[in-house]
Amino acid sequence: MSFHSNDEPGKKINIRDAKTLIASNFIPSEMGDPQLYWGFFPKELLEAILDEPSCVGIRLYNAFDFFMEKERLIVVGVTEDGSEIQNASTGESGYSLISFKSTFNDESLVRNFDLSKIERLVAAEQVRFSWGTLTQGGSIAPDLSFASFFSANAVRQLLAPEACNGIKFYVVGLKKPAKFPFSHLAVSAQHLLDTSRIELLGEEAQCIICPDPCPPRCAPEVSSMEAATDSASAAFDVAASLRKMRPVTNLEISENSFDKYLERWM
């Protein structure tokens, strides 16, 4: 079930501007010091998603594993009408998940990708949970609840450099550095297997930002809700109650818009 069309391929920027953008987006967190949020998907996975029949691009969701208390990043292929490819031609789920990294510098040491396939219901629950912001020690955690779209052509350009074996996705402020609403910045990268490091490529790197993420893009228009399972409804209720713990940080997005966004998962 789609929540918005896919007519935005992504906006290109050069590597120098991308690095400047990354350096300015250390986001205040409940842990105290500002942190940089990023995730990495390997080339083989992204190419497999793009090779699915009717796939015109990828959608990225920021999510939260409530039980493991970990930030997550979910990727899924989408078709021309915005529908998600829920099941791959191999029979596997179309949703792939990795841990979202939050670091105090642009540290790229990755010992475990924690990459896995998850069912749509699990993805839906984790996306809903991300809309609730927990407080610790009286401080409010950053609101990283949004989704981005990149066209198949844009992703293939990112993967084109010979040294590239994946894409690093950063959370960056859409209007102001380190401020909600956020978007994803995608940069060609190389995972060095011998050192377990992920490094951005040099001048040959492709860098693309989603200039129109959801929300606010997708929230205003909502089709009639489909019946949800009991567990999905429970996740929605928990996320809704958690969401009330923090103020709306973008005046253009109302609490009603949050609910409409989440309905697309029902």
Q: Give the pLDDT of the chain (266 residues) as one tens digit per residue.
A: 455 556 666 789 999 999 999 999 998 776 668 889 999 999 999 999 999 999 999 999 988 887 777 888 999 999 988 888 999 999 999 999 988 887 777 666 665 667 899 998 888 888 877 765 443 344 456 678 788 999 999 999 999 999 999 999 999 998 889 988 889 999 999 988 777 788 899 888 889 999 888 876 665 444 433 434 444 444 445 444 444 444 444 434 444 555 555 555 44
Q: Is 169 a domain residue? A: yes
Provide the whole-model pTM: 0.81
Distance CA 255, CA 96 (A): 28
Whole-angstrom CA distances from 260 to 5, 208, 214, 236 are 16, 28, 11, 12
Collapsed DSSP state (helix, strand, coil) of residue 179: coil
Distance CA 259, CA 28 (A): 25
Q: 140: domain range? A: 11-263
Query: Of 183, 175, 181, whose CA–CA distance to 61 is shortest?
Result: 183
| Number of domains the chain is built from | 1
Which stretch of DSSP H or E encloses residue 52?
Answer: none
Which stretch of DSSP H or E encloses residue 95?
Answer: strand 95-99
